[in-house]
Structure 1
Amino acid sequence: MPIKAQMEQLQRVTSLSVALEWVTGCPDLAGRDTVLKLIGEEVSTTIQGVIYSAESKGGGGAEMA
């Protein structure tokens, strides 16, 4: 995955983090829990994609710092 795509994925995580601020003010507890789970899954999936890409390019990622 090109570095540009990795950066776009990380920007997506940043956007999702901003969405968390909005969710914390949601008065509907069931809705809040559902949206928090969805955001958490999305963040996790995106980060794992970036990690996988970096590790596959860098031979384990240990060289990247």
Structure 2
Amino acid sequence: MGLAEAQASGDLIADGETGMRFKDLYPWQASVQAKSRDDVRAELENASKVKANGSSSDQHVASP
């Protein structure tokens, strides 16, 4: 496992005295998965297409 992989997974030692790893000290952060730029761009492109087609779920219909 390389340094970048260890940082991403939280496997680096965070505390020299206890030997705890970052993922053990901050479990809520270790569970977050980062997205690649390509993933974010694909989501943005998809959202733009949906909005352009008028299929957005945040459009509201007026009540009579």
Task: Tell me, yes or no, whether TM beats 0.5.
Answer: no
Structure 1 length as normaliser, TM-score?
Answer: 0.37
Identify which of structures 1 and 2 has the higher relative contact order when contacts are C-alpha pairs closer than 8 Å and 6+ apart.
Answer: 1
Structure (1 or 2) with the larger CA radius of gyration: 2
Task: Name the structure where helix makes up a greater proportion of residues.
Answer: 1
Structure 2 length as normaliser, TM-score?
Answer: 0.37
